[in-house]
Structure 1
Amino acid sequence: MSSIPRKFHWRAWHVLLAASLLALLFLGMRGLWDPDEGRYTNVALTMLDSGNWLIPQRTDGIGHWTKPPLVYWAIATSIATFGANTWAARLPSALAYLLCVWLVRQISARLIPDRRNETALLFATMFMAAGASQLITTDFLLAACETLAVCGFVCARFGDPATWQRRGWWLAMWLGFGLAFLTKGPPGLLPALALIAFALWVREPGRPRDIPVQVVGVLLFAVVALPWYLVVTQRTPGLLHYFTGSEVVDRVASDVHRRNGEWYGWLLVYGPTLLIGALPWTWYVLRWFGSLPASFRRWWRNAAIRRAEAGDVLVALWILLPLLVFCLSRSRLPLYVLPLFPALAIAAMRMRRGPALPNWWWMVALVIAMKVGSLLIPATLDVRTFVGEIHKRAGDAPVKRVVFIDDTQRYALHLYLGLPARIERVSMDAPPQARFNPDFDRTAAEELARFRGDPGVLWVTKLRHWPQVQQWMTDHGAHAIQLGDAFAEYPQDIGKDGTPKPDDARVMFRVE
Structure 2
Amino acid sequence: MHSSFKPSLVQTVLVILVLAFAFLGTRALWDPDEGRYTNVALNMLESGDWVHPMRNEHVGHWTKPPLAYWTIAASVATFGYNAWAARIPYGLAFVFCAWMVWFIARRLVPGDENRAALIYATMLLPFGAAQMVTTDFLLAAALSGAMAAWIESRHVDAHRSRRWILLMWLGFALGFLAKGPPALLPLLAVAVCSLCLPRGRASSAFHWSGLLVFVAVASPWFAVVIHDTPGLLDYFLGRELVQRITSDDFGRHGEWYGWLQIYGPTLVIGSLPWTGLLWRWLRSLRASLKNWRHVETRAGDATGLILFLWVLLPLLVFCLSRSRLPLYVLPLFTPLALLAARQMRIEARELPRPALLGVWVIVLLGLRLASAHWPTHKNANDWAEAIRSRVPHKVAEVAFVEDMARYGVHLHLGAPVDKLSIEPLTGKEFDPEYDTDLDTELVADDAAETIYVSKVKYWPKARAAIESRGHRVVIHGEPYQERVIFGVVPETAPARR
Q: Would you call these one fold, judging by a TM-score over 0.5? A: yes
Q: Is the 8 A contact 1:393 1:483 kept in 2?
A: yes
C-alpha distance in structure 2 between counterparts of 1:213 and 1:405, whole Å: 52
Q: Provide the C-alpha distance between the structure 2 equivalents of 1:134 and 1:462, rounded to a whole number of angstroms.
A: 30
Is 1:293 the counterpart of 2:290? The answer is no
- 1:190 aligns with 185
Tell me what 2:351 maps to.
357
Equivalent residue, structure 1, for 2:404: 408
Which of 152, 157, 165 is 2:160 aligned to?
165
State whether residues 458 and 508 of structure 1, in contact with CA within 8 Å, keep that contact through their aligned partners in structure 2: yes
Given that 1:152 and 1:169 are in contact with CA atoms closer than 8 Å, whether structure 2 keeps it comes out as: yes
Partner of 1:65: 62
Amino acid at match of 2:303: G
Q: Distance in 1 between matches of 2:484 and 2:28?
A: 22
464-473 or 476-485, larger mean C-alpha shift = 476-485
1:102 matches 2:99: yes
Equivalent-residue separation in structure 1 for 2:363 and 2:485 (angstroms)? 43
Check the 8 A contact 1:433/1:440 in 2, yes or no: no
- Structure 2 counterpart of 1:381, from 359, 363, 378: 378
- Aligned-pair CA distance for 1:209: 5.2
Q: What residue is the counterpart of 2:428 in the other structure?
A: 434
Any conservation in 2 of the 1:167–1:213 contact (CA below 8 Å)?
Answer: no
Residues 322-337 of structure 1: matches in 2 within 5 Å?
322-337=314-329
Alpha-carbon distance change, 292 to 239 in structure 1, aligned in 2, over 3 angstroms = same
Give, in angstroms, the shift of residue 462 of structure 1: 0.4
Give identity over the alignment, percent: 44
Q: Distance in 2 between matches of 1:264 and 1:286?
A: 21
Q: What is the 5 A alignment of 1:80-119?
A: 80-119=77-116
- 1:14 and 1:218 map into 2 onto residues whose CA distance is 39
- SS of the aligned residue for 2:444 comes to helix
2:13 corresponds to 1:16 = yes
State the Cα RMSD in Å: 1.7
Q: 1:264 to 1:412 in 2, by over 3 A?
A: same
AA matched with 2:375:
P
Q: Which SS does the other structure have where 1:58 is aligned?
A: coil
Q: What SS class does the counterpart of residue 461 from structure 1 fall into?
A: strand
CA 212–423 in structure 1, closer or farther in 2 if over 3 Å, else same? closer
User: How far apart in 2 are the matches of 1:376 and 1:509?
Assistant: 28
How far the C-alpha of 1:168 sits from its partner, in A, is: 2.4
Question: For structure 2, which runs of at least 5 residues remain unmatched after alignment?
Answer: 490-497
CA distance, structure 2, for counterparts of residue 398 and residue 11 of structure 1: 53
Go from structure 1 to structure 2 and tell me whether the alpha carbon gap of 1:111 and 1:211 turns closer, same or farther (over 3 Å shift).
closer
1:44 and 2:18 correspond:
no
Aligned length: 482
What SS does structure 2 have at the residue aligned with 1:26? Answer: coil
Ranges in structure 1 where 5+ consecutive residues have no aligned partner: 1-5, 489-504
Aligned position for 2:493: none
Asked whether the 8 Å contact 2:7–2:115 carries over to 1, the reply is yes
CA distance in 2, matches of 1:439, 1:119: 44
Alignment of 1:242-253 (within 5 A): 242-253=235-246
Structure 1 residues 259 and 433, CA gap change in structure 2 (3 angstroms): farther
**Per-residue Cα deviation, 1:104-147 (whole angstroms, up to 9, x for no partner):** 01111100002111001000000001111111110000000011
Name the amino acid aligned to 1:191. Answer: P
Is residue 272 of structure 1 aligned with residue 265 of structure 2? yes
Q: Deviations over 1:334-373 (max 9, x none)?
A: 0000000011111112222114213233432332233233
Question: So what's the TM-score if we normalise by structure 1?
Answer: 0.91
1:135-174 matches, within 5 Å, as 135-157=132-154, 159=155, 161-174=156-169
Q: 2:129 aligns with which of 120, 127, 132?
A: 132
Distance 1:280 1:272 in 2: 14
- Higher RCO (Cα < 8 Å, 6 or more apart): 2
- TM-score of the superposition, structure 2-length normalised? 0.94
Whole-Å Cα distance in 2 between the matches of residues 337 and 210 of structure 1?
Answer: 29
Q: Do structure 1's residue 508 and structure 2's residue 485 form an aligned pair?
A: yes
